[in-house]
Chains A and B, each alone.
Chain A
């Protein structure tokens, strides 16, 4: 009997044995961030991780917050709340999800880029070529994210290091000009660190992309709202440095085909179809759900070109009309349905390969040769107060490709009208036109005229050229941020 008692006591005693190790369990499904960054592969993956978040940018910044804002897109009043409708009608509230997303994903790219920069300094890896390239990429991406944020919100916090939650609530907004200066510094370092190209790794930031972005920054700096004209020379010089290197497509329509991904542009956001989940959604945003040739859900709401865009297009002569938009499609009742839509990226041959509406393989152009030429023309015109031969030459690049006759404007006003048309028709669905309108101080008038023309009682003022700081961020700490006027 005593034996049994002993066994029992031993049994109980073993249970009493304690051990801290018993409670230490690693997460088997995700790597611990504190132990992750060890070697070149890890840092390389981290650099890829910075790019990954760019996949959200075209829809957010270029389409929703820019193109939809312009008179290229128009929505009638909608009964359901849709961000695109409210953006297009300048009825944006602080709680709008798209606005918060823009703020959030801007800073996600910045945080990831900062982490890469810090890890590179910490590890001091032996492969200097890798270090230089990665630094250049991180700087470029951090600059690009700040650039999108500053154009969207005006005054924003500059973030140049990894922030703890406590530090996050201590960094307030900087003036627009300070943000520009910060971006300038980053881009200059990126230009120094990046190579002209990375064969076999197309899609990475290059020296040319950094130069182009810097040139655009200078043009923006010289224009509304900061209007520091001293930046124009640097802008023009960079554009002229780039122009001889451009690969100019002879056919406008070809630019948007999958087969020409990474062929012409200086910088594109990359997408591929397949199960990796890195396909594009943006082409679907322009489609309706009842397209015969498109068995997925389209955009909710479908982002349609305004009647004004259709009507004002030189439909007879401008080759970009048929390449960019259409006014009729076949619906799933096999009927021809009258409806305007943007078809630039609707490559029907690709549809059978898609796994879902978010699986398009098309890259999205961020900086392409046409924007270099047009911005070059814009910068020259701004500097000289009227057209120069060189400016006219740059302006006519896109016109002649579109099948239009060469223009020969005689004064700044004529030149500006032509430039506006080029931005409008060349970049349908790309957001460039809206930023041109803002830079050149035409946005308020163009939009008010447009709303008058379509009989909408919407009037805007300069306050509407930036978006509100998201409500959630205004609440994060009282007094940390100042709301933009008019919101």
Chain B
């Protein structure tokens, strides 16, 4: 008997063993059409054993002993748990999670169910970031979120994009939103790899942003990075390779056209010289005759190059063709993630290598990230993230005034054959009939410039659950970044004179920066549900301290051009300084939420911030807010209205601030003012700025009213928001009477208003095997200045303070200049129409704004604004079986861009020296040949003025991105769980009105475009492997 029992026992054990080894299989199908669903994650509950369904929806999993529950999950579907109960086959039908709004969104110092949010919050997930060859996080937001304007102001490698949320709230302080990365404020998000990001939320209104108080006025962008999930370790490889080409070229004169115009100008000058000298010179006079008359001197004012007839000995160059190239970009990322129930990890390494479309520029970046979550016990848990990054940006000097793109557009298209594209760089002189610029290609080639950056962001967060619902969090963050910028300009490109000694004009610069910041915060939060009442509260405090070191050394006349490093013995020290700066923030904050039966929602928050940036009388600011919401669809009277699946009204009101003013503005400073007595150097001092101990916060009061409407089981989902934001106490560098000895002083005095509305519409047009979703977002914002300095004095700004203005009643940064309305065709028009004192026929004609019959400074007027009337993004995604296609179209309507580059190359001053836009072919030549009526004479009198001829409508739309991807069936390659390939194209196609510029988004020089690094069109292919 005993033996029998032992036998039975052994049998049972071995059965359990057998059971443990049992492989459970099954098929996962969709509830709608019963089609098999690939890619569903299947996990044995309580373990890290997992599997994924294959292309036929079939999975197979080895279930360990004592485990009985399988968890099936798939994004967008309700997660299901099914007991195995000894079965060998477990099938599952997944039901679409119609209430996607159960989605959790990130809010300040926490997260909330999207359905509970009563403010204006938009978010995107990693889904819309994947499969695009983007280098920076901001790119992911362009065209995706209503109310968030992302402007790609430059194509420079590694350069940030300009973001504004619901219009800028400030003139002198910053207008960029506050970034929160994994719970901590971040000054810079250059260190983030888009592929590491899990989700991004944008807090757009004060009711949400006020918890970030003094930095919330421009909105808050909350970014979280990926974390591991329990289950077996997942490795992924994400790679793409792309080819970048310039998005477009500018239409300039060809070499032949340039020669034609030049020949004409020389001939005219020659004939005029004859008139002065009383000798009848004619345009047909030969080269030799002219030389004999000019005393043998080749005076390029009067003589054409005889080689222009044949082109022999000359090379015709299209500088844009030389300046732009097809360039490669590639990024490779390997990640490992997974973990047990108690320890989860996400580790990634990413390398980016990008060549610039401008030669001799490239960018390389290496990122690592390790996100670890540890659950010590039921009560105590820890999150620990570290992300070191380093990058090298090589070459540059391309964007803005007097940079190489500007020069390339200006270079004469004709050069000496032996010099070719090296014209003007040693040992080649410039072409005698051209300007004195060094070849931009030679400049870029010979320039040694490296910008090396590295940073580490470390976040640690300890969470303790004191009792159920009551959590205490102690968190700390340290961010350290350093940057070394080194530039060496050798003599051979520093001078167009060809006889300079090596090193004599060389110039080297070294800038080093170090940025340190720590944040410590403590948060106590409590959540409780009692019947139909849900209650949440949070209190916390934080301190932040940031300090920065900056130093600069500039040396010149380095004794050779071989070494690019320098020392004080072999060169002259021109500049040498070290600076240190520091600022601190001390904050207390709190929030309460209440919700009754999911129908009535309330939330209120308050924050008190103290900032060292302000005057000693004004360190502190308090920022309160509240918001309410009403879920109409949850009311009993809506029970029978089936078509409406969601209807919520939201209202929020609150105050936020802006403290991003330059440091130490509250102080009156002593500035250095040296002089020399008896040929020595005497150190002198003078008061350099006006003290203002009352300097304080810019505050923005804003209200937001919104409605969320879901129809037909949320297949149509619409959100509409209207807001009104009023900024007061706006920090202005107010002009003061120069008779005080100062030109301006910072004062909290201005007021500005931003009003607007936003619409986000998401529809699922087709939901069967062929799926089609669209997402449309549309934003309108109107900006208006309501108050300025004590006398309302307008503040000129823009290029040389002569192109833009801040004026009460108009948008900030309005374009302010003469309004060009044509040319004076003849003397009669000059005499009869309003004109300037020195106007001559063929001059540009300006609008007589005040109708006093003369054109003068009083006719300078507001002619436009950089602010668009509205901007929008439109995404269509299609999927069929294993294929996905997504198309993002994005654009703006209205607004203007000022083409300083157009003006520079349009400027007649270089008439015979530089290249110019093609429209000069149609200029005014004489009273009988008046051209196109828009292009003036080449020697007009208004060249020094800024006028609306270079103001362009910035309306555009572009196909920003098209991505086609294919997910191959599982195990098509053994051991590979997921295999996706994609082809993606960025900046595919653009329609705009900006003729003499690369992009209507460009902004690089004082509110205008002086020629920047153009955007590139990128065609890339990529793969995602998961194994």
What residues of chain A have their CB less than 8 Å away from a CB belonging to chain B? 1, 4-5, 8-9, 11-12, 15-16, 18-20, 22-25, 27-34, 36, 42, 45-55, 77-82, 86, 89, 91, 93-95, 97, 100, 103-104, 107-108, 110-112, 114-115, 157, 159, 162-169, 171, 200-204, 261-262, 270-272, 274-278, 289-290, 292, 295, 332-333, 335, 338, 355, 361, 470-473, 475-478, 480
Contact = CB atoms under 8 A, between A and B. Distances in A.
B495, B579, B941: residue with the most chain A Cβ atoms closer than 10 Å: B941
A349 B908 CA distance: 37
Given A16-B588, A28-B579, A477-B737, 8 more contacts: A12-B472, A27-B581, A45-B683, A48-B682, A53-B673, A79-B939, A97-B800, A289-B436
Contact of B464 (A8, A82, A95, A203): A8
Interface in B438-494: 462, 464, 466, 472, 474
B584 A48 contact: no
Contacts of B497: 290, 292, 295, 332
A60 to B, nearest CB: 14
B741 A111 contact: yes
Contact of A18 (B573, B586, B684, B939): B586
Nearest to B464: A8
Given A16-B588, A23-B619, A51-B675, A28 B944 contact: no
A167 B790 CA distance: 12
Contacts of B616: 24
Given A52-B684, A272-B679, A12 B524 contact: yes
Contact of A8 (B474, B579, B588): B474
A202 B495 contact: no
Interface in B599-618: 610-612, 616
Contact of A276 (B472, B681, B791): B681
B740 A164 contact: yes
A30 B520 contact: no
B838 A91 contact: yes
B674 A169 contact: no
Contacts of B678: 200-203, 262
B677 interface: yes
Contacts of A80: 907, 909, 943-944
Given A15-B520, A32-B669, A77 B684 contact: no
B673 A295 contact: no
Contact of B674 (A11, A50, A164, A278): A278
Given A32-B667, A355-B574, A25 B737 contact: no
B968 interface: no
Interface in B681-705: 681-691
Given A45-B684, A270-B677, A79 B943 contact: yes
Contacts of A159: 739-741
B429 A333 contact: yes
Given A12-B472, A289-B436, A295-B497, A165 B740 contact: yes
Given A48-B682, A275-B574, A115 B737 contact: no
A48 B736 contact: no
A46 B939 contact: no
A53 B684 CA distance: 10
A276 B800 CA distance: 27
Nearest to B743: A104
Contacts of A20: 610, 619
B911 A33 contact: no
B521 interface: yes
B5 interface: no
Contacts of A4: 380, 464
A34 B676 contact: no
B640 interface: no
Contact of A168 (B583, B691, B737): B737
In order of increasing CB-CB distance, the 3 nearest A-B pairs are A81-B944, A111-B741, A48-B684
Given A78-B909, A271-B676, A295-B505, A30 B619 contact: no
A85 B680 CA distance: 36
13 contacts: A12-B474, A25-B612, A27-B667, A28-B582, A30-B671, A93-B857, A166-B790, A171-B737, A262-B679, A292-B499, A473-B738, A475-B793, A477-B793
B522 A12 contact: yes
Contact of A355 (B572, B580, B911): B572
B569 interface: no
Contacts of B939: 77, 79
B685 A42 contact: yes
B670 interface: yes
A50 B673 CA distance: 8
Nearest to B944: A81
Interface string B710-754: 000000000000000000000000111111111101010000000
